[in-house]
Amino acid sequence: MLFLYPMLTLMIDALNVIDMRVRLIAAGKSTSDEIFLMVNEKVEALEEARAILMRGGDATQIIDNYRKIVAANAARLSA
C-alpha cells in the first residue's frame, strides 16, 4: 500500500512523456531516433528491474528506478 502513491505518480509522469514523444513523432522531428531510443530504454529498464529483483529488491525499488528514468526523459524532451 505504501508504494501506491509513487506508482500513481509514475503512471502520470509516464503518460506525460508518452504525450511529448507522440507530439514529436507527429511533428516529424527525429522520428526514427526517438523510436529507437524509446525501445532501447524499455529494454534497459526491464534489465535493471530484473537486476533489482535478483539482488533481493522489491517493487518499491523498481518503481523508484522507473521514476528516475521517466523524469530524465521528461527533462530531455522538454528541453
- Picking from 64, 60, 79, the residue whose alpha carbon sits closest to that of residue 13 is 64
For 23-63, the pLDDT digits (tens) are 988 888 877 888 888 899 999 999 999 999 999 999 899 99
Domain locations along the chain: 4-78
Decide: pTM greater than 0.85.
no
**What pLDDT score does 68 carry?**
95
> Could you tell me if 20 and 78 are in contact, meaning their C-beta atoms sit under 8 angstroms apart?
yes
**What pLDDT score does 29 carry?**
80
**What pLDDT score does 1 carry?**
58
